[in-house]
Amino acid sequence: MTNNEEEEDQKSPSDKYKGEALNAYRAFDEVLKVRKGDHFAVKVLKVTGRVLGITLFILLSPLVMIGLFLAFIAAS
């Protein structure tokens, strides 16, 4: 096996999902990044989308925590 295959085998499932979550956030951040050539209306939409997205992440975080808590209870 190569080094990359060995590293893939050593990664836990949580590392895999953590990486996917990080990639999703980076994609979200890249789409809503305000650029120099954007028109005013596009800038307003991007800032509004960013505020709504962050608000949604904050509102969903307790549900994720409850889900993880229940998953750990079920696993034990």
The residues, ordered by sequence, that sit 6+ positions from 32 with a Cβ below 8 Å of its Cβ are: 46, 47, 49, 50, 53
How far apart CA 56 and CA 33 sit, in angstroms, is 18
Helices and strands in the chain, H and E counts: 3, 0
pLDDT given for residue 8 in this prediction: 58
pLDDT given for residue 49 in this prediction: 94
Q: Write the DSSP symbol of residue 40.
A: H
pLDDT given for residue 68 in this prediction: 87
How far apart CA 71 and CA 41 sit, in angstroms, is 43
- Work out how many domains the chain is built from and give that number: 1
Task: Give residue 50's domain range.
Answer: 3-75
Structure tokens at 26: 């980076």
pLDDT digits (tens, 9 = 90+) for 5-59: 555 556 777 777 778 888 988 998 999 999 999 999 999 999 999 999 989 989 9
Q: What is the pTM of this model?
A: 0.61
**Average pLDDT for residues 46-75, to the nearest whole number?**
91
pLDDT given for residue 46 in this prediction: 95
